Amino acid sequence: MKKIVLVSLAAVVCVFAQDYTKVGLGIAYMQQPYKETKSKVLAIPYLEVKYNGFYLRGIEAGYEQKIDDYFSVGAFTKGRLDGYKSSDSDYLNGMQERKYAVDVGAKVTFEKDKIGKISAFVLNDISGTYYGYELGIEYSRRYTYEKSILIPFISLKKESKKLTDYYYGIKKSEETLQRPEYSTNGAINTEIGIRHIYTISKDMELISVASYTKLDESIYNSPIVKDKEILKAFIACSYKF
């Protein structure tokens, strides 16, 4: 349950010029990729803070610095909340627990009104959990309609073999007749989605995000994975200080 809460919080990424604090309450939905596991629907708290370039968004915290009118750079850390316990489903019985991780990374962003926003990042495990890395690039564009802000986005994320083996592989010691040993080849996952911010009043907003992730065949061919995609959705009402 805790994993779904924090993943959904992290999915909401909104950038404004001024410093702020937002608190609120939301509802999250996330599809689980592992066999015989169920999707989750949860009521969860919402928190987002920005101050002098420093920010906190769910499970991500970092610092961003503009270097000119269009480019900015940053450093950040975030939780990786993939994984499972063997008790999560009968099919996973006998598998060792795949734990959460803590990543640290850097990013560079280009943003121009008539073009949109392009962000590239690199993350590396610093918790000694999976010993791998992730590279990613995202394109988004912001559209304003009266009280609404719409931000469609698309991203590509390359996950290293060590990362995907840890979360989706099957060790020799874990194999059964129905669950043979399996090793991945790393992965490139594609995500598309949309973020929406609706202004209710000067200090209140309705924030939502929905996304669809297409998993690489190296992941969905794993005997413990049931789906080729992951659906996520989140909606919250927040108050800004």
Domains of the chain as residue ranges with CATH: 2-240 (2.40.160.40)
At 44, the pLDDT band (50, 70, 90 cuts) reads confident
Among 53, 45, 52, 61, CA closest to 9? 45
pTM (two decimals): 0.86
Q: Is the pLDDT of residue 120 over 90?
A: yes
Arithmetic mean of pLDDT, 4-18: 43
Q: Is the pLDDT of residue 138 over 70?
A: yes
SS3 sequence of 96-113: CCECCEEEEEEEEEEEEC
- Phi/psi for 5 (5° steps) reads -55, -50
Contacts of 217 (CB under 8 A, 6+ apart): none
Residues pairing with 155 in the sheet: 138, 191
Q: Is the pLDDT of residue 18 over 80?
A: no
One-letter amino acid for residue 143 of the chain: Y
User: CA geometry: angle at 54 spanning 195 and 209, to 5°?
Assistant: 10
Q: Is the pLDDT of residue 13 over 80?
A: no
At 2, the pLDDT band (50, 70, 90 cuts) reads very low
What is the 8-class DSSP label of residue 137?
Answer: E
Lowest mean pLDDT: which of 77-86, 92-101, 222-231? 77-86
State the burial class of residue 52 (Cβ atoms within 10 Å of its Cβ: 0-12, 13-18, 19+): exposed
Helix or strand or coil: residue 95? coil
